[in-house]
């Protein structure tokens, strides 16, 4: 049985900030099913107006929400504020995306009448959110799903329920029924029950590949349920011929260590041309050594905070030691400054000499470096993963980038930009173990409604012109 309560703690201090009781999955889903028809029957303009009011509620609560995100995730306050801005901006982006991706269309079909294309909502959708962006990423599912006419059951990560609670209250304050957007507090048990519930018409998930695969397996015999999986990445950043090694080093550090490496798009593997290795690594290490690791409200502001909890810090430390003991060469050691709190220094390790490198997503500030001698080898190394979320090429010619773009298997491919920081105004998703070909962000509209094709006449008109005996 589940524990009686979910408790949220501040990573930076260990202090308790929120507690709440586990929700009842059957009750929440039943309530959503009863509320959904009235919500779906509202004019689209009404639903759009209500999500715009939600954006205004978030604006009113912006500093409170940012403070809560910073406390609950450990991320610096400056970064928490950018997350709140993304929550607000998602509304207008989703409205534009719905109009473009799922607009109504009518075509004259001559004597066959009118051909029409319209879209219908699925019904009640479960949104399973992650802890690294506890407001922005679930909101990226919720807002487009509401615009399309779905009701929502939102189960946040058990590590960030306080942020989810405040986010959902903003929907309710905007005038969206508390039955149309519901918060389900719980852990893995409630998540599994929600995925398998007959009253749920689809699962919109952001999180680890392990959990996403379990959801996919659970629903393998249920093609009637929409499943959108946004999972992690073992993302490569390739540095090739460039005289601007200082800028390249900045892009590497931004990719690897922003959000303490707790982004699905974080650069995990630095693939570098051997002739640039010494100069580039010297710049990357020099910059990484200057990174301030601290609590969210410290002055001066830290570049990165702690990882989410002690279990995550323990796992990352063990992973660093594993790589070190299997042939890795430490460039910058991972240091844990307090055994009781999950603060980790950025770590860099050369894994070129490891024959069978583990293809796993090490979700934290741990960058693996691999030397290569030619561009074909760099592309092969970039593709040496079951994941396929993000990849970046730094340096190189336009012809190099064309080859990189054409041959690297990923859903986000950048040139002279970090692997992270994707725009919400573009589709966001990956292939392989990074997703199931249902990208989110601007393309979330695609999985929040299904197309219905119609041919229509205002009066019945028909004849059979062949194959009948004379009357």
CB 344 within 8 A of CB 293: yes
Query: What CATH number labels 235-415?
Result: 3.40.309.10
Tell me the C-alpha distance between 160 and 91, whole Å.
Answer: 22
**pLDDT at site 1:** 42
- 264 catalytic? Reply is yes
Tell me the C-alpha distance between 263 and 321, whole Å.
Answer: 22
- 170 catalytic? Reply is no
CB 21 within 8 A of CB 5: yes
Task: Give the closest residue to 202 by CA, choosing from 263, 308, 128, 276.
Answer: 128
**pLDDT at site 210:** 96
Tell me the C-alpha distance between 154 and 165, whole Å.
Answer: 10
Catalytic residue, chosen from 264, 283, 381, 448, is 264
Catalytic residue, chosen from 79, 83, 230, 283, is 230
CB 440 within 8 A of CB 230: yes
- HEC string for 18-41: EEEECCCHHHHHHHHHHHHHHHHH
Question: Which architecture does CATH list for 5-231+435-456?
Answer: 3-Layer(aba) Sandwich (3.40)
pLDDT in tens, 27-43: 999 999 999 999 999 99
Instruction: Inform me whether the pLDDT recorded for 111 exceeds 70.
Output: no
**pLDDT at site 22:** 97
**pLDDT at site 110:** 66
Between helix 161-173 and helix 136-148 the angle, nearest 10°, is 30
DSSP secondary structure letter of residue 288:
H
Mean pLDDT in the chain? Answer: 96
Q: Is 7 helix (H, G, I), strand (E, B) or coil?
A: strand
- Break the chain into its structural domains and give their ranges: 5-231+435-456, 235-415
pLDDT in tens, 225-274: 999 999 999 999 999 999 999 999 999 999 999 999 999 999 999 999 99
pLDDT in tens, 135-187: 999 999 999 999 999 999 999 999 999 999 999 999 999 999 999 999 999 99
Tell me the C-alpha distance between 427 and 121, whole Å.
Answer: 20
DSSP secondary structure letter of residue 135:
T
Q: What is the largest CA-CA distance in the chain?
A: 95
Q: Residue range 417-429: average pLDDT? A: 95
User: What is the reported pTM?
Assistant: 0.96
Question: 380: burial class by Cβ within 10 Å (0-12, 13-18, 19+)?
Answer: middle
Give the pLDDT band (50/70/90) at residue 2: very low
């Amino acid at each position: 049985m589940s524990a009686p309560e979910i408790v949220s703690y501040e990573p930076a201090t260990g202090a308790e900030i929120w507690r709440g009781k586990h929700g009842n999955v059957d009750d929440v889903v039943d309530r959503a099913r009863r509320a959904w028809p009235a919500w779906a029957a509202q004019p689209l303009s009404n639903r759009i107006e209500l999500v715009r009011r939600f954006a205004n509620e978030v604006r009113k609560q912006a500093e409170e929400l940012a403070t809560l995100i910073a406390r609950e995730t450990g991320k610096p306050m400056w970064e928490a504020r950018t997350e709140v801005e993304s929550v607000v901006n998602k509304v207008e982006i989703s409205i534009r995306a719905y109009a473009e991706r799922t607009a109504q269309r009518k075509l004259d079909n001559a004597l066959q009448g009118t051909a029409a294309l319209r879209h219908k909502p699925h019904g009640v959708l479960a949104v399973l959110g992650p802890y690294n962006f506890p407001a922005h990423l679930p909101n990226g599912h919720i807002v487009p799903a509401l615009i399309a006419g779905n009701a929502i059951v939102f189960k946040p990560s058990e590590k960030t329920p306080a942020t989810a609670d405040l986010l959902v209250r903003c929907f309710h304050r905007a005038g969206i029924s508390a039955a149309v957007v519901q918060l389900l507090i719980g852990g893995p048990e409630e998540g599994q029950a929600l995925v398998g519930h007959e009253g749920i018409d689809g699962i919109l998930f952001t999180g680890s590949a392990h959990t996403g695969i379990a959801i996919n397996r659970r629903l393998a015999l249920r093609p009637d349920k929409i499943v959108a999986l946004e999972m992690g990445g073992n993302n490569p950043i390739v540095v090739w011929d460039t005289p601007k090694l200082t800028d390249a080093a900045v892009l590497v550090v931004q990719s690897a260590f922003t959000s303490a490496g707790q982004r699905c798009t974080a650069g995990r593997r630095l693939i570098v041309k051997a002739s640039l290795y010494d100069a580039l690594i010297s710049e990357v290490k020099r910059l990484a050594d200057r990174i301030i690791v601290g609590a969210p409200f410290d002055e001066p502001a830290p570049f990165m905070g702690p990882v989410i909890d002690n279990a995550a810090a323990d796992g990352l430390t063990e992973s660093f030691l594993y790589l070190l003991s299997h042939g890795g060469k430490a460039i910058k050691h991972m240091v844990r400054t307090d055994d009781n709190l999950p603060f980790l220094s950025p770590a860099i390790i050369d894994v070129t000499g490891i024959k069978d490198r583990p293809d796993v997503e090490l979700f934290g500030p741990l960058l693996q470096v691999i030397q290569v001698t030619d561009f074909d080898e760099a592309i092969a190394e970039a593709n040496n993963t079951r994941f396929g979320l993000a990849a970046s090429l730094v340096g190189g010619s336009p012809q190099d980038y064309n080859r990189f773009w054409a041959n690297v298997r990923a859903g986000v491919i950048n040139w002279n930009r970090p692997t992270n920081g994707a725009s919400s105004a573009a589709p966001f998703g990956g292939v392989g173990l990074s997703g199931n070909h249902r990208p989110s962000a601007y393309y979330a509209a695609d999985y929040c409604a299904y197309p219905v094709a119609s041919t229509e006449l205002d009066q019945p008109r028909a004849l059979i012109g062949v194959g009948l005996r004379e009357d």
